[in-house]
Structure 1
Amino acid sequence: MGDMTTIREILEFAIEREGEAVEFYMAMADRVKNPAIQELFEDLVTEELEHKSRLELEVMKEGIVARTVGVLPETSLDKTAVDLDQVRSQMDYQEALDVAIQKERRSLRLYARLSGLVVEAEFSETLLSLAEEEARHLTALEEQYENAMTEQQ
């Protein structure tokens, strides 16, 4: 996708990223053997599907001819992809959490950045709300990581 100048392009980009997140977490759940880690990734799949549905609803709303503050060059976007090669079948819980933390941190930055570029408050609020949800995911994952580190000691 090239430079984005409309809310529709931004929303479609975000929908694409959520779809990639769903695929990523599904692949992670399939690759790992530990049931607790599988459950973690399956829960993230559910959450990312909810995000995708919210974004798709925004696209379906009437009159999406909104503008952004400026042009958002594709090259300026923080990559949200985390390489699946990082996911090994025998990874431990902390390693799995670390990969998920990286992914959520990137998603948070993406939505925060996109929300700041949208002129219309309604759409900006939707993107900001998604950034807040990603922040909650990130906080929960970081807490789980801290707990895992504490238990290991």
Structure 2
Amino acid sequence: MKWKPYLTPIRSFDPDEARAFLNHRPVDQVTLVDVRQPGEYQAGHIPGARLIPLPELVDRLDDIPRNFPVIVYCSSGPRSRAACQLMTLDDSFGEIINLTGGFNAWEGEAALGRENQGLTFFTGAETPREILEIAYGLEQGLREFYLSMDKQVKNPGVRRLFATLARVETLHQESILREYQRIIDPSIKEDQLTAAALQGTLEGGMTTQEYIDYYMPQWEDPEDVVFLAMAIEAQALDLYLRAKTRVVDETSRKILTRIAQEEKSHLVHLGELMDGLISGTAT
């Protein structure tokens, strides 16, 4: 290790700059590091962030990839700045960025739960076939949830919104089916993959009731519905990125990266939809 003088100037992003930076980079070309304590992480974290509490950082520097930028955050800034200073002592790191204001200032999409939340589906030994079947099932669960809610709400605008959300999940499933046909079985049909897929859980590894109990949405309010959809997509993005770090098979990791990128794109579109609802320009 080569050592630099302490108190090296640290590049900083405010939350808007960090969000723009993340939105314009593929999910596998930037690393988020959360240096808070596990309880803080569990209560809410930026999707895909690696939990490395500050007291453990020096012993776990090898857990952080060196080849892409690293954004470090804590609750409000002091711990992440200290973490960045420690990381700059190691010349093998490239760009290190501190998130000013930390998670308290983030006000963006967030995921919940411990580091192993939802990872009962991903032991690390999954084959590409198993990864695709799990992902297809998670998408199916969310699609069925949206379709069921379409029948329960009265607001015509919210009904159209649920129908649109269900169609998006159908597109995700079609993408997974094409990937399955490309690398596993060219002859498999939609109903066959549905039968083989994981059942009973939504994207992100939580059940329908767990999402409802936590967020308690007002079902006739379109903003509440989009907020819930964003929360589910953020949880899914977080799950796929965490799963990618433990899966051994290289093809499986690439599949998880592609799926995570799709979830990220959908999350961006949902954010734009929310902006339109707030401004009154959504159609």
- For normalisation by structure 2, the TM-score amounts to 0.41
CA distance in 2, matches of 1:78, 1:16: 11
Secondary structure of 1:50's aligned partner: helix
> Comparing both structures, which one devotes a greater share of its residues to helix?
1
Aligned: 1:130 with 2:271: no
AA partner of residue 145 (structure 1): M
CA distance in 2, matches of 1:119, 1:3: 11
CA distance in 1, matches of 2:132, 2:243: 9
Cα pair 1:112 1:131 within 8 Å, conserved: yes
Cα pair 2:204 2:233 within 8 Å, conserved: no
Higher gyration radius (CA): 2
Cα pair 2:204 2:232 within 8 Å, conserved: no
AA partner of residue 55 (structure 1): I
Aligned residue in 2 for 1:17? 138
Q: Which has the higher contact order (CA 8 A, sep 6+)?
A: 1
Gaps of 5+ in 2: 1-119, 186-202
Aligned residue in 2 for 1:69? none
CA deviation map 1:111-152 (0-9, x unaligned): 22233334444443332222122112212222222333344x
AA partner of residue 173 (structure 2): K
Change (3 A) 1:62 1:79: closer
Aligned-pair CA distance for 1:26? 0.9
- Could you tell me which of 150, 171, 179 is aligned with 1:50? 171
Q: Would you say how many aligned residue pairs link Structure 1 and Structure 2?
A: 137
Cα pair 2:244 2:257 within 8 Å, conserved: yes
- What are the within-5 Å matches in structure 2 for residues 1-153 of structure 1? 4=123, 5-7=125-127, 8-60=129-181, 61-62=183-184, 79-83=205-209, 86=216, 91-151=220-280
CA deviation map 1:40-68 (0-9, x unaligned): 222221221232233344445349xxxxx
- For normalisation by structure 1, the TM-score amounts to 0.69
CA distance in 1, matches of 2:229, 2:122: 28
**Percent pairwise identity:** 28
Aligned-pair CA distance for 1:105? 1.0
Aligned-pair CA distance for 1:23? 0.7
CA distance in 2, matches of 1:34, 1:58: 37
Cα pair 2:226 2:270 within 8 Å, conserved: yes
CA distance in 2, matches of 1:123, 1:133: 16
Secondary structure of 1:31's aligned partner: coil
Q: Which moved more, 1:20-29 or 1:41-50?
A: 41-50
